[in-house]
Amino acid sequence: MYLPEDELQRIDEEERLLKGQYKHHIHVCLGANCLNAHSAQVLSALETEAKARGLEKVCSVTGGGCRGLCVAGPTVTLEPDNVLYGKVQPNDAGDIIASLGGEPVERLNRPTDNPFFMRQQRIVREMEGRLNPERIEDYIAAGGYKSLLKALNEMTPAEVINEITRSGLRGRGGAGYPTGLKWKTVAKARGEHKYVICNGDEGDPGAFMDRSVMDDFPHRLLEGIIIGAYAVGADRGYLYVRAEYPLSVKRLQLAIRQAQKQNLLGNNIAGTAFNFDLQVRVGAGAYVCGEETALIASIEGKRGQPRPRPPYPAESGLWGYPTLINNVETFANIGAIIRNGSAWYASIGTEKSKGTKVFALTGTVSHSGLIEVPMGTTLREIIFDIGGGIPDGRKFKAAQTGGPGGGCIPEQYLDLSVDFESLASVGSMMGSGGLVIMDDRTCMVNVAKYFLEFCKSESCGKCIPCRVGTAHMFDILDKITKGEATLDDLTLLEELCDTVKHTSLCGLGQSAPNPVLSTLRFFRDEYIAHIVDHVCPAGVCEFEKEAVR
Amino acid sequence: MTTQKARIATIWLDGCSGCHMSFLDIDERLLALAKVADLVYSPLVDHKKFPEDVAVTLVEGSVSSTEDLEKIKHVRAHSKFIVSMGDCAVTGNVPSMRNPLGVDVILRRAYLEEGLENPQIPSLVVPKLLPLVKPVHAVVKVDVYVPGCPPHAETLFYVVSELLAGRLPDLTKMTRFGV
Amino acid sequence: MSVVVTLKINDIDVSGQEDETILDVAREHDIYIPTMCHLDGLSSVGACRLCLVEVKGMNRLVTACTVKVAEGMEVYTETERLKKYRRMLVEMLFSEGNHICSVCVVNGRCELQSMAGRVGVQHITLPYYNPLRTLDTTHERFVIDRNRCILCTRCVRVCDEIEGAHTWDLGGRGIESHVVTDLNTFWGDSPTCTGCSKCVHVCPTGALFEKGRSVTEMTKHREFLPYLTMMREKK
Amino acid sequence: MQTSTLVSAEDKRWRLIRATMRRHGFAANALIETLHTVQEAFGYLDEEALRYVAKELRIPLSRVYGVATFYNHFAMKPQGEHHCVVCLGTACYIRGGSRVLEAIEKAAQVKAGETTPDKKLSLLVARCVGLCWLAPVALFDDEVASEATPEEVAQKVGEWVDHVSS
């Protein structure tokens, strides 16, 4: 009889045996960012060099995932010495191979005993940099797919849902809806078929958390999706990935094929009666498709325009069938919760926001990159400890969270705990995890204008307030940054914010005014300076020599 | 005794004079109006200069040229109440139909492409056109809006009577854009 | 078969079937809720947002044309907030296109024009957009003047849902959205248009009209729509 | 000779498009996937191909047009030989991405989203290419220009465009 546990066990043992042959393991980051910085060439240079020195039996050179310190790419990780090299070039290969077993190459060495690495806690990005994303064996040897087998063999769907509910996991796509509750609703809904959709349409500028999960841990994502499908009783699923992420598409398709081969996807999964078919769908460049009803329309092959809810996708989603939609990071948490238990997960984070959150830390901050921290970590810890503070001796001005529908958080809230409620209380939101740091050279009116330009051109055009309102808001902000606006324009801008926020059909329009509202709340004096004094305090906006009015 | 009569005025920017015609259609009530108000400036009467201290000015037409712009600013400065009279003043209406095309296109069409002898775009005498035709309120503050093309005589009489009686007219049920 | 529910609209006790929308029930009780994209006989899309109402206990405003009534619901249709939003939405429509009522074929019979009166819009505070839009006169009997289009998609829906031709759809997106025939080719060349005129008659403004009609001359007839819907549902 | 190679090349394109549709069972929901293939095969959404796809998938022409013009990824016109993508993500924007874009627009005499008349260069903007620590970023035929200055990019684009006129 076929026993999937045995098969996984066999792969696990083989892997250990294989890895045990080597004294040194060299992982070259093959994440999208390092690949852009030519890490593939670094990989082949290291292979050639190892061979040339006759060390191919002593050290293994493999592709690995991202270490998060993107600013230092391409990165190379050495094990078991736990050495991290940054900005590695192909011609560094000789020195790296030569130094194995001895002192690390000083000019490339990046310390890992600093807050950037020590203050993080990794669940979604567990084993970062050490798993070859293109090999299912790596994931299995690291304990992968055991949670799926546990769920299938030892738990009923209801028990799985209870476990997720008790863990306190909330949707990582932005709104923070309780995942267990969503699963329960879909499980209860009736339908000939049910669908699971993984939302990988990560569209916020400055956000690449989900890309890193899809690129680095495709199997962790698949495992979460399959467990979700089992829990809600879905037989079909789609992974919707934005067109801008070809590497993610490639790796997910490969991962799906590998999982099918191991009977972890398809019919009678792992010898049980559970069938689940999963396909990748590629987006085509429309931010609004991150909204769940628009995403559904897009998978159906239509214009990605949202429709009013209710009915919610949980009752009537893809082709009218009950549909579970969760974001990439949400699904990537599932395996760990099933493996370690809901009590463990619920012990991390704050009272209402459990677990960790991955952020893409960018802007004017020393250590740009991907970080994963427990919910409740303060902005100050993230920016000044983990992120290494503001470079060039500049002063911190604001942290922008939540993408185009988020807000700018000023200095007085640096000790704010990063969780769903706290961010909302200062007029921003968690969003998907973009965290852009701005220093004192940033004009906040100009920042608001930037986000409105984004929302205006990404508006689908279906509902009036978003289609027309965002265009007017952008025009007024443009006038302000040119010193051509009046205080009446500012009043009109605030009225537009009110209408667009409360009357728009979907989240895009409803949140589009947030960048304006939050900058008006904390930096109103900058607006006034532009309008009344024709001065841009940050020196960014250029006015005509002669004031227009 | 001679009670002080209210000083009212009318001006005409870029419009067709239809609103003024409609105003005249209040017929014999003009006489009643004349008892309580003086028409101190209007295209209908012979005054060269817009006077100071006007109580109510009815404005017909949109703001289309540099001359319109100067005129309306001057009028605003010397009027207590400004009434946008008719669709051209309220919305831009027919004159604003050139807006999507831009000034150059229509000037070329009117002066160069119509097969005139010695075609040229006038640059003296004729005031310079603004890039965009605007409703009056886009340029100066407006107190009362009377849409309609043209507004009915009844409506206009009501507006003037109410203002002279010291009340702001409520026109929501009386008139709208177009008809 | 369906269940009767009781609810309150503007503090008045009303009843309806549970599969009816708030709009259906309000109309049965002569309670006016403004609508623009909605048309009886076509699917509801909730795009124009004019029928937004407040429902006690719901943190967001909801579209009366899509949300079904429920037992004990308390609906408010005329709050100050809603009135303010409706005025702004109508203003947005006027500012977005080129609506010159005085020279329009449906002057006096236009739904946008009368909506302005109804919600109390007497002038447009928002700046006008003055977009450069196209006019297609190639069809032998009809004209589309996109300057007057408010993107309600009634034409798209009637052509798809009732006529079954799907000649119309939306092209572009955001503020650049526009209605198109086929591959954005001339209407007169359309291999799919049956010339049925349904789109012309459901159009709320003067964007679609019959050739040869002058200012104020175009009257739209929509009596056919509920009838056709009913007859087709029977089949 | 030349004609026959052209035809066979064309045949290959149609075969690719057909293969995508077949893989999805000629279902209407395969439209976006098929348009991706059309764009890969033709470099843009060729009108004849759109008609073909509409017919094969039994989708109304207007819906095909609606979908094709809704998504940014699809181009309705032939693209240039080279392409330049300027990132306008948040980090790039606050570090001067828009000035980089302006410099390129000026140097190449082309607006974002357009192609030069000689078909040498298409200028595109991206919402975020995810290289925020290199901001501002521009991509020249997929080669990354990091911490780009207006002068540098103008020179780079100038090489491509000058190449043509000389």
The CATH number assigned to the domain holding C63 equals: 3.10.20.740
Assess whether C25 and C106 both reside in one domain.
no
**What's the confidence (pLDDT) of residue B3?**
63
**Nearest-angstrom CA–CA distance, A435 and A382:** 10
Mean pLDDT, rounded, for A31-48: 90
pLDDT at A437: 94
Cα–chain center distance at D113: 9
Q: Residue A227 and residue A339: Cα distance in Å, rounded?
A: 12
Among A211, A299, A450, select the one facing D130 at the smallest CB separation. A211
For residues A126 and A358, what is the distance between their CA atoms, to the nearest angstrom? 11
CB–CB contact A467 C129 (8 Å): no
Whether residue A434 is predicted with pLDDT greater than 60 in this model: the reply is: yes
Q: Is the same domain home to C58 and C134?
A: no
Residues 6+ positions from A159 with CB-CB distance below 8 Å: none
Distance CA B165, CA B168 (A): 9
Boundaries of every domain in chain D: 2-70, 82-165
Domain D82-165: give its CATH code. 3.40.30.10
User: Is residue C73 domain-shared with residue C122, that is, in the same domain?
Assistant: no
Which one is predicted more confidently, A470 or A542?
A470
* Confidence at residue A143, expressed as pLDDT on a 0 to 100 scale: 92
- Model confidence at A6, pLDDT cuts 50, 70, 90, reads confident
Q: Do chains C and B touch (3 or more CB pairs under 8 A)?
A: yes
Same domain, A52 and A80: yes
Do the chains D and B touch each other, judged by at least 3 C-beta pairs below 8 angstroms?
Answer: no
Give the mean model confidence (pLDDT) for residues C121-140: 96
Assess if residue C44 is contained within a domain: yes
Does A67 contact C at CB distance below 8 Å? no
CA–CA separation, A179 vs A353, rounded Å? Answer: 12
Show which of residues 104-163 on chain D sit within 8 Å of chain A, judged by CB atoms. 126-133, 135, 144
| Bridge partner residues of B81 (DSSP) | B56
Q: How far is Cα of residue D108 from the mean position of the Cα atoms in its chain?
A: 17
**Cα dihedral C185, C186, C191, C194 in deg (nearest 10):** 130
Whether A226 is in a domain gets the answer: yes
Residue B88 domain flag: yes
Structural domains in chain B (count): 1
Half-sphere exposure (Cβ direction) of C77: Cα atoms closer than 13 Å: 24
| Exposure of C26 in the CB half-sphere (CA atoms within 13 A) | 26
Residue C107 with chain B: CB contacts under 8 Å: 178-179
Range of the domain at A394: 356-439
Residue A503 resides in a domain: yes
From D61, D66, D70, residue closest to C192, measured CB to CB: D61
| Residues C112 and C227 occupy one common structural domain | yes
Rounded Cα distance between D96 and D90, Å, is 10
pLDDT per residue as tens digits for the range D13-51: 999 999 999 999 999 999 999 999 999 999 999 999 999
Contact C133, C173 (CB under 8 A): no
The one-letter amino acid code at B142 reads V
Contact D133 A447 (CB under 8 A): no
Please indicate, yes or no, whether residues A336 and A364 belong to a single structural domain of this protein: no
Q: Is the residue at C83 inside a domain?
A: no
pLDDT band at D91 (very low <50, low <70, confident <90, very high): confident
A314 with A165, same domain: the answer is yes
Tell me, yes or no, whether A188 and A326 share the same domain.
yes
- B2 has a pLDDT exceeding 70: no
Judge whether B93 lies within some domain.
yes
**In a shared domain, residues C224 and C175:** yes
How many residues can be counted in chain D? 166
Q: How far is CA A544 from the centre of its chain?
A: 41
Residues C109 and C201 in one domain: yes
Phi, psi values for residue A327, rounded to 5°: -85, 165
- Look at chain C and report how many structural domains it folds into: 2
Of A282, A301, A447, the CB nearest to D29: A301
Of D28, D31, D70, the CB nearest to A304: D70
List pLDDT tens digits, range B135-159.
Answer: 999 999 999 999 999 999 999 999 9
Q: Is A306 in contact with A505 (CB distance < 8 Å)? A: yes
pLDDT tens, residue by residue, A373-415: 999 999 999 999 999 999 999 999 999 999 999 999 999 999 9
Domain residues for the domain of C29 are 4-78
Residue B173, SS3 per DSSP: coil
Confidence check: pLDDT of D6 > 80: no
When pLDDT is averaged across residues A422-430 and rounded to a whole number, the result is 92
Distance from C-alpha of D25 to C-alpha of D9, rounded to nearest angstrom: 25
Based on the domain organization, do A157 and A304 belong to the same domain? Answer: yes
Q: Could you tell me if residue B110 is inside a domain? A: no
Please tell me the predicted confidence (pLDDT) of residue A3: 60
To the nearest whole angstrom, how far is the Cα of B54 from the nearest Cα of chain C?
24
Q: List phi, psi (to 5°) of D14.
A: -60, -35
As a three-state string, the secondary structure of A177-225 is CEHHHHHHHHHHCCCCCCEEEEEECCCCCCCCHHHHHHHHCHHHHHHHH
The pLDDT value given to residue B174: 84
We report the CATH number of the domain holding residue A368 as: 3.10.20.600
**Are B90 and C130 an interchain contact pair (Cβ–Cβ within 8 Å)?**
no
Cβ contact, residue pair C172, D62, below 8 Å = no
C63 located within any domain: yes
Q: Domain ends where: A439, A470, A500?
A: A439
The residue type found at A468 is V
- Pick from A291, A298, A530, A240: which is nearest to A405 by CA? A291
Q: Above 70 in pLDDT, residue B4?
A: yes
CB-based contact (8 Å) between C183 and chain B?
A: no
Domain boundary among C47, C78, C109: C78
Confidence label for A545 from pLDDT (cuts 50, 70 and 90): low
Condensed to tens digits (0 to 9), the pLDDT of residues A463-499 reads 999 999 999 999 999 999 999 999 999 999 999 999 9
Is B1 part of any domain? no
pLDDT digits (tens, 9 = 90+) for C175-218: 999 999 999 999 999 999 999 999 999 999 999 999 998 888 88
| Higher per-residue confidence, D6 vs C154 | C154
Instruction: State how beta strands A369-374 and A356-363 pair.
Output: antiparallel
Looking at the fold, whether C119 and C19 belong to one and the same domain comes out as: no
Smallest CA–CA separation between B159 and chain C, in Å? 14
Write down which residue in A439, A465, A499 finishes a domain: A439
Q: Are A99 and A151 in a shared domain?
A: no
CATH code at position B150: 3.40.50.700
The partner residue sitting opposite C101, judged by closest CB among B97, B142, B178, is: B178
E strands, chain B, in order: 6-12, 37-41, 54-60, 63-65, 79-85, 129-134, 144-146
How confident is the prediction for chain D on average, in pLDDT? 88
Is D127 in contact with A243 (Cβ distance < 8 A)?
no
C131 preceded by cis ω (within 30°)? no
How far is the C-alpha of A23 from the C-alpha of C228, rounded, in Å?
Answer: 79
Give the per-residue pLDDT at A129: 87
Q: Which residue has the higher pLDDT, D52 or D132?
A: D52
Q: What is the pLDDT of residue B51?
A: 93
Please give the Cα distance from D1 to D5 (Å, whole number). Answer: 7
A99-146 pLDDT, tens digit each: 988 899 999 999 888 888 888 999 999 988 889 999 999 999 999 999
Distance CA(D50)–CA(D57), nearest Å, equals: 10
The reply to whether A181 and A274 lie within a common domain is: yes
The verdict on D58 touching A (C-beta cutoff 8 Å) is no
D53 membership: H or E segment, kind and range: helix D47-57
Using the 3D structure, point to which of A410, A439, A468 is the last residue of a domain.
Answer: A439
Domain count, chain A: 4
Compute CA distances A276 → A269, A328, A439, C174, whole Å: 8, 18, 49, 37
Which residues on chain C are in Cβ contact (under 8 Å) with A467?
96, 151, 174-175, 177
- 3-class SS shares of chain C: helix, strand, coil, % to 5: 30, 15, 55
